Structure 1
């Protein structure tokens, strides 16, 4: 077995390293695999064996309700997020709810599907903090392990065919978000990744203090808050806009809103602060969006390089 980890703190990324593309997709239909009776029967046996020692069982008819496969969802996101002719060094999949293909090593499969054959792994069982953890790992690998071209995939699907006996926020539908990281190319608007933190045992009320500690940004600040956090938290001082994530997307909500913001960013530089609160932990990620790259400015820059 080979272990490959960052060998020092990973904030030493190039000055123009950040988000190059942001894609979001909804998956309203079940995966084709969910309609395969042989797969359904194998999944029934597998889950029943896992649940039996804990005194749990499958809900009647649960597997017939369908579900999604993160492998298929991720393939669709990769096709849209990775430009033709480019490759990726690192792929990280973040999710909270298991999918309907537990026998598949999904990230190993995605390493073969994604251009570049990237190193790939998953982050799970962290609730809303999972994608933030994945983001810190991506920056660490980019800064110290020579893997600057990275793809973050945040996915969720609603089919959980048993009662876990603990409070679980299930999504209303399947959805996914892809963020492509790397050095900005000519004509791309710079979106630099700032601090990414998770504070264990923090309360939602500490959001204002965390935002204040971040200091000023390049322009107006928009806070993108998880649904539970937005419901009980006043707008922090210095924040011009607050956008609340859809409560039907407990895992992808803030990332879904981020992709929407980056699709139509304001003309002026701005700061986007993502924040989510789950199981006693407060997670934040900062994205500083630079000035819009105008076609005339790009043409002038190209002329100076000739």
Structure 2
């Protein structure tokens, strides 16, 4: 269990969200598909699973590279990059986090969080908070991605994305949204949702009866709450927010508390870069 953590000078300064309607170019390469099929067949054979026809898909490297280009400005060096995902990449032969460090300004320390379902992004955010506590890591980037193609039937029922989407959140000291706490609890039911907050809920949590909430679009089990958060921030939040989700398979209950702070402006729009901070 990871309890909610203490204070840290972490603020969201910029958010980008993007759909990727076209499959990656590599997905149309017959040679790549043949190698991918052979690789996956070896992995799933011990579990009695077989491959299924599933052409297409998107590479997390290309998705995240586009998000970096839209989120990080020239001259802004990033110190830490965390990639969060759940569905396997269609390009397993590449160390995607290392590749993203190469293309991201500042050549940041970069790593990935996976195998945690809907909790991956929350864990990534907790790690960013820990790395920024000492002050040496001043700018961090969390990238949450999901691609909709799975080339085999999962061994247990699991929610699969309906589309290829990604969200990037840039953190530094100039933002107008403070990250107050992040909690990830294992083996627990969905946590109680507090009053007096703007609720931003993922696919794993039903909105409370009689309470307004911003609910992630159906079919986005991993990027959903962060996608919806970008829309809330675009409207200019006036009170504390709670981003919450629940993974019913892994039984992870997740919450992230955010609050507006004194800042100098905000600009942005849907499916574009959202600016929170100095103008």
Please state which band the TM-score falls in when normalised by the shorter chain. 0.7 to 0.9
User: SS at 1:207's partner residue?
Assistant: coil
Deviation at 1:227, TM superposition (A): 2.3
Q: Deviations over 1:218-272 (max 9, x none)?
A: xx521011123125x436xxxx741111121000000001111112214xx3111
Give 1:11 shift. Answer: 4.8
Residues 24-83 of structure 1: CA distance to partner in whole angstroms, max 9, x if unpaired? 000111000001111111111111111122221111x22xx2000000000000011112
- Tell me the distance in 1 between the aligned counterparts of 2:57 and 2:217: 20
Specify which structure has the higher proportion of helix.
1
**Structure 2 Cα separation of the partners of residues 135 and 247 of structure 1:** 23
Q: Does 1:109 align with 2:99?
A: yes
- Deviation of 1:201 (Å): 2.2
Structure 1 residue runs of 5 or longer lacking an equivalent are: 1-8, 213-219, 296-306
1:25 to 18, 21, 29: 18
Describe how 1:170-189 pairs up with structure 2 within 5 A: 170-184=160-174
1:246 and 2:217 matched? yes
Assess, with a 3 A threshold, how the Cα gap between structure 1 residues 259 and 137 changes in structure 2: closer, same or farther.
same
Map 1:65-84 → 2, pairs under 5 A = 65-84=55-74
Task: Name segments (4+ residues, structure 1) moved above 4 Å.
Answer: 9-12
Equivalent of residue 201 in structure 1, options 187, 194, 202: 187
The equivalent of 2:264 in structure 1 is 293
TM-score norm. by structure 1 comes to 0.80
Partner SS for 1:144 = coil
Query: Compared with structure 1, are the counterparts of its residues 287 and 10 closer, same or farther at alpha carbon in structure 2 (3 Å cutoff)?
Result: closer
CA distance in 2, matches of 1:294, 1:67: 38
RMSD of aligned alpha carbons? 2.1
Asked whether 1:271 is paired with 2:271, we answer: no
Correspondence for 2:159 among 162, 166, 169: 169
Closer/same/farther in 2, CA of residues 88 and 195 from structure 1, 3 Å limit: same
Q: Deviations over 1:162-184 (max 9, x none)?
A: 01220110010000000000010
Alignment check: 8 A CA contact 1:10 1:143 kept: no
Q: Report how far residue 292 of structure 1 moved.
A: 6.0
Pick closer, same or farther for the CA change 1:290–1:248 going to 2, 3 Å.
same
Q: 1:39 to 1:288 in 2, by over 3 A?
A: same
Q: Secondary structure at the match of 2:35?
A: helix
- State the alpha-carbon separation in 2 of the partners of residues 246 and 12 from structure 1: 31
Deviations 1:186-222 (A, max 9, x none): xx6x111111001222223x323xx36xxxxxxx521
How far 1:293 moved relative to its partner?
2.8
In structure 2, distance between residues paired with 1:118 and 1:154? 17
| Preserved CA contact (<8 Å) 2:6 2:181 | no
Report how far residue 294 of structure 1 moved: 5.7
Instruction: Name the structure 2 match of 1:301.
Output: none
Separation in 1 of the partners of 2:70 and 2:48?
Answer: 43
